[in-house]
Amino acid sequence: MKLIVTGGSGFIGSAMVRQALADGHEVLNLDKLTYAANPASLADFEDNPRYHFVQADVADATAVDRTFERFRPDALVHLAAESHVDRSIDHSRDFIETNVVGTHVLLEAARRHVDGLPSGPRGRFRFVHVSTDEVFGDLGESGGAFTEETPYSPRSPYSASKAASDHLVRAWGHTYGLPVLITNCSNNYGPRQFPEKLIPHMILNALAGRPLPVYGDGSQVRDWLFVEDHARALLAVLDHGKAGETYAIGGRCEQRNIDLVHRICDLLDEMRPERRPEAHGSFRGLIEFVEDRPGHDRRYAIDCSRIETELGWQPTTRFDEGLRRTVRWYLDHESWWRPILEGSYQLERIGTSDRS
């Protein structure tokens, strides 16, 4: 297929592009290249004739329409989003512009594109909208998990903007007959994740001998999904999902934040013993508990039974294996993250968000 992937230079987006190209698809990456995007994540595909790049804002209707007209896609996978909860608290307007207005622009462009297609290609077109489990709110101390039927209860500007975009996508499917699919994923982790997110933040702060800030008491629980497993899930939804349906995607791997930070420290003790802080003897000694952020949800978890049963997808990367691969990747790819830290983005600006 010919796919447009929005936000393809970001963390999950670049994994999606890599997997789609590996599966033989032709991909156009539409990315504004904001602070969290890194062209280096796809540098090895620059000469691939099946890979194309357009630098544009998803909220720029003219640029989006032009991209549809020139590329004539068979499907669109919408990953472009502002996704950092801490930033949404301080700069909510950016989240409305990208996550809500940008989604509306894409839906309208896709609708016009589909209306102009012959009946065969029109029936095959798909609009896959990638969302988050945060739209469902907080599970608290319950033993349950989010499903596709969980009522929405967003609790931050970020999750509210994503919930709004989900509702727009469903409305365009119902009102205009646009063949849409929605996915709600749990926390992603893996190589090429921007350093403001929890796992790379802890790795790079530890290597620099800086404090490892953990919100509250660190008992918040998240369900972790290896990014390559997520990319495979998105392609399964694209290839076999039923238009109009929602699929919850999770790693079946709940971890407390503090336990996760301890595991990262232990891996760094093993892999970089010469960098351990002398005053502590272990990277764990760098951990500092800081004031919790406003409205911090306690627990998220995904029941991904539907996608497993209906589409045959399952997460295949064990958490211990995935985390080890992730830590090793950052140790071996300083050339990827060092320019970020030496540029406009500095370690001291990194928050402690646990989001993907």
pTM over 0.85: yes
Average pLDDT value over all residues in the chain: 94
**Quick one: DSSP state of residue 191?**
T
Q: Tens of pLDDT along 47-82?
A: 999 999 999 999 999 999 999 999 999 999 999 999
Of 197 and 279, the one with more pLDDT: 197
Summarize the confidence of residues 262-275 as an average pLDDT: 97
CB distance 229 to 321 below 8 Å: no
Token pair of 32 as six digits: 């504004």
Go through the domains of the chain in sequence order and give each one's CATH number: 2-193+224-253+297-316 (3.40.50.720)
Query: Could you tell me which residues come within 8 angstroms of residue 100 by beta carbon, excluding any fewer than 6 positions away?
Result: 161, 164, 165, 168
Categorize the per-residue pLDDT at 84 as very low, low, confident or very high, splitting at 50, 70 and 90.
Answer: confident
* Residues belonging to the active site: 133-134, 158
Q: How far is CA 170 from the centre of its chain?
A: 20
- Residue 344's pLDDT is 56
Q: Tens of pLDDT along 145-161?
A: 999 999 999 999 999 99
Summarize the confidence of residues 22-27 as an average pLDDT: 98
Q: Tens of pLDDT along 231-243?
A: 999 999 999 999 9
List the Cα angle 237/6/257 in 5-degree steps: 75
- Residue 345's pLDDT is 54
- Residue 349's pLDDT is 44
